[in-house]
């Protein structure tokens, strides 16, 4: 994404772009996605709420998951699968042409994620979630724990520690 793109969209989208670019964050998010089935957009949404010192319960995270799961399953995951498949050498299409096509698919995948985030932002505006804490760092820790509890998963500690450290540096 270009810098111009980061100036548009909801505050949540702008937070996501800035946070995802921080050292180690992309890798930690991908690790959580691959190893624990985390929806990175939902994770970023929880961290955005934490920035406002809002802590969500596992039940609130579950309600969000129920809301976004159909979109993710119908758009984001299939687009990601196509993009990843295009990394493999194809005999039918020249590698350069395949890479151009893969880049276009990647842009469409990013747009699907942006649309998901914008919908989540609008839902949060319509019906505020969570309860306020005195510490953004504590809210971030609780929100990640709520996500893991909702998912009945153990998130890789290295990835969560990386995210929490990056979050702490962003808010101080």
Residues of the domain holding 30: 3-171
Q: What is the pLDDT of residue 131?
A: 93
Query: Which residues make beta-bridge pairs with 59?
Result: none
The total number of structural domains in the chain stands at 1
pTM to 2 decimals?
0.91
pLDDT-flagged residues of the chain (< 50): 1-6
Q: What is the pLDDT of residue 3?
A: 39
Q: What is the pLDDT of residue 4?
A: 39
């Amino acid at each position: 994404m270009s810098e111009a793109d980061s100036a548009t969209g909801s505050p949540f989208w702008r937070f996501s772009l800035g946070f995802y670019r921080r050292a180690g964050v992309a890798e930690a998010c991908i690790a959580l996605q691959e190893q624990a089935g985390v929806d990175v957009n939902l994770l970023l949404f929880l961290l955005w709420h934490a920035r406002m010192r809002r802590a969500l319960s596992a039940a609130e995270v579950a309600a969000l998951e129920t809301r976004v799961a159909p979109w993710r399953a119908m758009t984001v995951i299939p687009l990601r699968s196509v993009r990843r498949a295009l990394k493999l050498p194809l005999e039918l299409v020249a590698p350069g042409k395949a890479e151009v096509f893969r880049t276009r698919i990647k842009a469409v995948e990013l747009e699907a994620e942006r649309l998901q985030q914008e919908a989540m932002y609008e839902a949060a505006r319509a019906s505020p979630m969570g309860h306020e804490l005195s510490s953004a760092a504590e809210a971030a820790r609780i929100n990640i724990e709520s996500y893991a509890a909702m998912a009945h998963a153990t998130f890789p500690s290295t990835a969560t520690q990386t995210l929490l450290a990056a979050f702490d540096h962003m808010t101080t």
